[in-house]
Structure 1
Amino acid sequence: MKIGIDARKIRDFGIGIHLENLIRYIPEHDAENEYIIFHYPGDETRIPQTGPNIRLVPDHSPKYSLQELVVLPVKMRRQRLDLFHAPHYTLPPFRPCKAVVTIHDAIHLRFPEYLPHPAAYYYAKWMMWAAAKSARKVITVSECSKRDLITYLHIPPTKIEVVYNGIEVCDQSLLHDSKPCQSVLDRFEIHCSYLLYFGNFMPHKNLETLIKAYGILKRRYQIPQCLVLAGKNDRLKETLHTLIQQEQVAQDVILTGVVEEAWKSSLYACADLFVYPSLYEGFGLQTLEAMAHQIPVVITDIAALTEIVGEAAVRCDPRSAENMAEAIYAVLSNPTLKASLIDKGNVRVQAFSWRAMARKTVEIYHSVLQEAQQ
């Protein structure tokens, strides 16, 4: 049978990592079905072609457009697909085949004020509802997200499958070699040891509270660490620069901009501590990535992060810069606590695997195809 996967978001921050690993490990779990990967021209090198049953089909349809809702179904019919998997909520509701959709989180429904325009809320809500309605199965990445989808979209619980994201084991040589650290310091002009945030720069990531917490740490405890905020920051750059000036920490906060994949592992491995200040997450992959690099983690006490991290991180109140500062300092000032968090993190990451994610996703494909034949 033929299964199509929409990989047009393979360059996106979180969904892109998810897609790359799903496609990479599918052939290990399914050598019989043929997989048709729809992609933007130029993205061929981003798509793992790890088996003879992976075939690429280019598509130009813009994301979040009317065109994708029309053109993709035409290509599904042309490719004679038996099943189509949308890794995001933009699933064409009228198709010639069965479908599975992955809805990673319900952030647009929980925090509509973060969307660029009120119309975006109604678009997102309708598309999520239509995708959940027409798909045979809805995949999400945490029990927290499952509860949100049930609450906001009224999806029957039996229709939703929770499939956790995974984590790759990092190159252990990075953890004991000073050369990569010096290289990353030079590359991003980091002048001291540092605390790290790595991820998207969106309003719900709560970076303003983190910057205020860092200001408290500098004033109250004179910590020597810089604060490195890594990731594409176009949307919030001006706001963050203003706040950094107000907190009088301009000399100690570094915004790296986009981090190339080649530098990502070293940036994690050389940090003193990773902070994830988010107000809401569907999963929180970066916390696992930090743990895999054997650095301690501080997270906000929100449902998805506590579900994924368990007891392997110190938690703080996402709305309190004071509480966040104290949580960070508790780790920096206590070597025993720091070592304990690293040990717990080493254990925790063993529960998450991209291979397992791909295997469970393939099992869902097979179950939907079998139901269609009955």
Structure 2
Amino acid sequence: MGRKPRTLRFDAFELDCDNRQLRRHGRVIELGSRYFDALALLVTRRGELVTKQAFMDAVWQGIPVTDEALTQCIRTLRRALGDDAANPRFIATVPKHGYRFVAAEPRSAGARARPRVSQLGGACALTGLAAGAVAGLVYGMIAGTGGGGQVMILAAMIGALGLIAGSGLGAGMAAAIAWRGRADAWVVAGTAMGGLCVGALGNLLGREGVALLSGVPIANVTGPFEGAVIGTATGLVAWVALAGGGRLAVLSVSVVSGLAAAGLIFLSGGTLLAGSLQALQHGLSGFRLDVAKIGFLAGEPGLTRTALGWTLAIESQIFIFAIAGGLLVVRRRLIEPDRS
């Protein structure tokens, strides 16, 4: 049986001494060989004073260097860790003597994950709300027949649906990360499960709720299948974003997964927002939206099958791009090193 790799942990960082890598949430931060040795010395002697001579002996191993070399080493380490010499979280200066590593050892992988996953869930909820409000506003202006008040009400209602959808996806995403302690392929499964649950809830409210209140059964509204598909597409984007993928990679995956999700829903006969509004218009008398106008913008004589395909593509892309943007904001604040 092989020896367990020696890994030193602090805050969101892992110092893999066997593989000589510094990682933050799984993302490798490049360090020169001597700088890595200096950081390992500091972390190993956490809380102790490490003198200049100790650095010279352990890092430079007797090679004559100036004090400036050590100063530059510490400056580089602070930059890599996002630390501030004036208000240190990791490396504190002991004037005229040396340096001390002051970061406490993390309590557990779960404790490290909680602040991050809570902000992920919040980001997904807020961006879902924003995407839903935008969609409701646009559809209200295009198809509304009751004036500006109706447009605002529709934007608020669909914004609330987006909030619920984003919260469900964010909860599944956060649960997977909290369980695994990192962003990996299980994020996709967790987000898909969150989407499935939200889709099932939305279907129940859209069909059974309306039927209960009006006595009219409504068919062909968004359900668990569509929720799971959108959840899977969003989970792929989250995996790439939170595992450290570049912004271009996140953008590319958002486009491809959004179009793939829309295509799968379209081919299966499913629907998202526009199709659900069409089902409500057909099932409820006095429904004050003329959804055929949405199809007119696509050059169709109404909300035809072709027009529905276009709305599926646009709606999925708006929602997934919104979530991707929120994840990138969270990543910049919590995963990427502070550049200040």
Which TM-score band (shorter chain)?
A: under 0.3
Greater fraction helix: 2
Larger radius of gyration: 2
